[in-house]
Structure 1
Amino acid sequence: MALLSTLLEILRRPTMVDVLSELMMFIAPLWVAVIVGVLVGWAWKPRWAKILGCSESKDASPASPTATSLSTCFPSIPSLNALKFQLPSCVSWTTDDKEGLSLPPAATKSDSSSSQLDSSGPVSGEDLEHLYRLVEERDGGPAWIQMMDRSTATMGYQAWRRDPETGPPQYRSRTLFEDATPELVRDFFWDDEYRLKWDDMLIHAETLEECPTTGTMMVQWVRKFPFFCSDREYIIGRRIWESGRSYYCVTKGVPCSSVPRRNKPRRVDLFYSSWCIRAVESKRGDGQLTACEVLLFHHEDMGIPWEIAKLGVRQGMWGAVKKIDPALRVYQKQRASGAPLSHCARMAQINNKVSVDYQRCLESSTDNSSEVEKPKNPKERNVPKLLVVGGAILLACSLDRGLLTKAVIFGVARRFARNGRRL
């Protein structure tokens, strides 16, 4: 009755313009509530719906690594496109029954292209080609939007983000470490035993399989997440290619039938995190190649709304990144004192040589460019912000997990609204 009386009151307005304006003001909140409810309901749909969706897509061929590829120096970044949601984990569920790790046959560490172009194993020459195109900004993807530019006395850091048509947000970063060699930084990022000491999000790291000839490894990571999210498990394939003093380090999620899935920790299937590490000139301007540049490309789908994940990345990125440089300096001193190498660090030194001819072939084939844009005007993102705030409110009202969880969700929404113009 209240709804009917309100409509009748609107229709009694003296002019048609007044009637239409009142109707728009009356209907708009309802449509916003419907849209937010649909988006949140789709993002947080029950497990049986996901399983049903996976069973219907068994006949679909999995996406190629070059189509979906993209820890940065900040480890494990989550990624909800405002209007599109993906379930890439369904693809991996259909491939988990296949053989786990099929390492390439023994090969020599030489300049021939045979070791670069092999298509066997969890990480192949296609992954090297894709990373090379990302480094040269010729992968044909959307323009990169700068997010951050920070620095300390011994480290500089820049970060960009882009939103592809399908899949989670992709991140690109450039970190400059003063007075560090590419070889040291390469070993540092590969050393899981040492990472467990400085990365407080990593709670378990185990090598599952490895190839002593190519250096290819399959490792299992378990990362700690906030109390209202379950921990995440990663099965990662990784491998390093060497070109002079430049190192192309590929890590990505791979299927593994030997490690069964569990409800907790939840496995992340879509994961890509790769580096190009190389010697560059110091920012001191002395012309010496005494600094090390790390170009990092990262994306993953951790099963949470991407817009909320982007907010978390934005708020926590610098806090995570600035922990890396002190850890690197301690690692540097340990190596200088003659401390023994860990097994993972020794594996990082088994690299696949990239010949000059092969690199020229890659350069001639990278004809699609990607652009770098300045940060967008905050006014252009008002609608996604409204959806995130509304989604957080509906999510808090729909979850029965106590006042503390709801307070956290409301706090995220409130901070997003308050700081929105600066994001």
Structure 2
Amino acid sequence: MVLVEEFLEILERPTIGAVFVEIMVFLGPVWIAFLVGITVGWIWKPKWAAWNCKFDFSVPSSPSDSVPSTSKPLGFHSSEAPTPSFASYADAGSEIEQFDTGPSRLNTLPISDEDLDHLWHLVERKDGGPTWKHLMDHSTPNMSYQAWQRHPETGPPQYCSRTVYEDATPELLRDFFWDDEFRVKWDDMLVHAETIEECPTTGMMVVHWVRKFPFFCSDREYIFARRIWESGRSYYCVTKGVPCPTIPRKDKPRRVDLYYSSWFIQAVESREGNGQLTACEVLLFHHEDMGIPWEIAKFGVRQGMWGTVRKIERGLRSYQKSRASNTKISHCALMAQVNTKIDPEYLKSTDGNEESSGTDIEILPAKREGSINIPKLLIIGGALVVACTLDQGIIPKTFLFNVAKRFGNIGKKQVQGHDG
């Protein structure tokens, strides 16, 4: 309580400069520990530590930037996508016979028709969720990328992204995302990947992953089920966390229970505008509770997202070359080819006669030039440092973020005062 009282006294300082000096003195030991950790971490620096941190708190430069240039507000479908539904299971060919010697078949399917229905509503923007807010828009000569974020009333932040890869096919992307044996070659955050169970009839898999996190966090453990539905050359891929009593919990790595990462893949027209469907669109919907304060998680995702997307694209091109050289297809990639066939009209019919509640995208006003909020950046950075270094300290993390918010508002008022 003494530290809290002292900290509250700091808040009563009349100027931002005085407050900042007091905060630096108050958090001096923590900052020293953080700088020592950064130095040691930089010397040790594994490949995955090469973050692309630009500290960009800006919003889109104009209202049009927050809406992709496609027929639907979120950029979903460059062409009208088929609406899925179940018809029959894919037949397992002779290549899949080897699955009989693998893990035992699943007695129950942890991913069901309802999961496909949910993904379809997300893709069609009919899930009735909160407004999607624009996050970023980037491109390279061979790829374009757009991302959005929203905040449900309960649960962690949710993300949606649209990536279009030039000179790629839906089948290649489908196999690439499923191929854990190849993923460990390009994803240096994945330190362990193992198939626990699988179903040779539906292609359902239960997978165990361990992912390496930055040095101030312990590694994270994921146990998830995944399954693919096929509608023509379009694919609905569902991945979500599932319980697994056969793998006991440990203190480290920390298990992530709430995990959802699903995508829709389809062929689209190339950016060259030649009318050829030589590009591939991937719509991804993702959220998870990593056990990190959500404000910190959002900050980390925003700073690392584009770098991660570029790393995925490099992995895809490497995979493309590997497949072109007739390299033997891995077991995981073969499982990706065992899909549930679906009738394009089924889910449209299950949607009912009434229109489902739509999901909007917020158009944000342009950011005024020169209104960079430096105090807010510094305070948020300080809150991030303290929350990451203090696990169960005297100062609660929520208190720190409230303080950060208060100082951010002070800085904002000062900027507005100068503008006036």
**Would you call these one fold, judging by a TM-score over 0.5?**
yes
2:231 is aligned to 243
User: Following the alignment from structure 1 to structure 2, what is the Cα–Cα distance between the partners of residues 390 and 377?
Assistant: 28
TM-score normalised by length of structure 1: 0.64
1:354-365 aligned within 5 A: 354-362=342-350, 364=352
1:372 is aligned to 361
Given the alignment of the two structures, is residue 264 of structure 1 paired with residue 252 of structure 2, yes or no?
Answer: yes
Q: CA deviation at 1:356?
A: 3.1
- Please say if residues 194 and 209 of structure 2, whose CA atoms lie closer than 8 Å, have aligned partners that are also in contact: yes
2:320 is aligned to 332
Q: CA deviation at 1:386?
A: 8.9
Letter of the aligned partner of 1:215 in structure 2? G
Q: What's the secondary structure of 2:283's corresponding residue?
A: strand
Match of 1:163 among 127, 151, 163: 151
User: Following the alignment from structure 1 to structure 2, what is the Cα–Cα distance between the partners of residues 278 and 203?
Assistant: 30
- Please say if residues 145 and 376 of structure 1, whose CA atoms lie closer than 8 Å, have aligned partners that are also in contact: no
Match of 1:322 among 291, 304, 310: 310
Once the two structures are superposed, residues 185-213 of structure 1 have per-residue CA deviations (whole angstroms, 9 ceiling, x without a partner) of 10000000000000111110000000000
- 1:206–1:371: structure 2 CA closer, same or farther, 3 Å change rule? same
Q: CA deviation at 1:226?
A: 1.2
1:183-198 aligned within 5 A: 183-198=171-186
User: Following the alignment from structure 1 to structure 2, what is the Cα–Cα distance between the partners of residues 255 and 347?
Assistant: 22
Once the two structures are superposed, residues 337-362 of structure 1 have per-residue CA deviations (whole angstroms, 9 ceiling, x without a partner) of 21110000000000001113313314
Q: What's the secondary structure of 1:322's corresponding residue?
A: helix
Runs of 5+ consecutive residues of structure 1 not aligned to the other structure: 1-23, 33-73, 75-106, 111-118, 402-408
Match of 2:124 among 110, 114, 136: 136
User: Following the alignment from structure 1 to structure 2, what is the Cα–Cα distance between the partners of residues 396 and 214?
Assistant: 42
Q: CA deviation at 1:121?
A: 1.3
User: Following the alignment from structure 2 to structure 1, what is the Cα–Cα distance between the partners of residues 391 and 200?
Assistant: 49
- 1:399–1:337: structure 2 CA closer, same or farther, 3 Å change rule? closer
Number of equivalences: 300
User: Following the alignment from structure 2 to structure 1, what is the Cα–Cα distance between the partners of residues 225 and 376?
Assistant: 34
User: Following the alignment from structure 2 to structure 1, what is the Cα–Cα distance between the partners of residues 123 and 140?
Assistant: 24
- 1:120–1:133: structure 2 CA closer, same or farther, 3 Å change rule? farther
Match of 1:348 among 336, 340, 343: 336
1:20-419 aligned within 5 A: 108-109=89-90, 120-362=108-350, 364=352, 367-375=356-364, 388=380, 391-392=383-384, 394-395=386-387, 398=390
Letter of the aligned partner of 2:361 in structure 1? V
Once the two structures are superposed, residues 91-148 of structure 1 have per-residue CA deviations (whole angstroms, 9 ceiling, x without a partner) of xxxxxxxxxxxxxxxx8438xxxxxxxx951111110000000000110001111111
Deviates further, 323-332 or 271-280? 323-332
Q: CA deviation at 1:374?
A: 3.1
Letter of the aligned partner of 1:368 in structure 2? S
CA RMSD of aligned residues (A): 3.4
Q: CA deviation at 1:329?
A: 1.3
Q: What's the secondary structure of 1:241's corresponding residue?
A: strand
Runs of 5+ consecutive residues of structure 2 not aligned to the other structure: 1-10, 20-50, 52-87, 92-106, 394-399, 413-420
Q: CA deviation at 1:170?
A: 0.2
Q: What's the secondary structure of 1:129's corresponding residue?
A: helix
Taking only the aligned residue pairs, the percentage that are identical comes to: 62
- Please say if residues 216 and 388 of structure 2, whose CA atoms lie closer than 8 Å, have aligned partners that are also in contact: no
Once the two structures are superposed, residues 343-396 of structure 1 have per-residue CA deviations (whole angstroms, 9 ceiling, x without a partner) of 0000000000111331331454761110112347779x9999798456446547
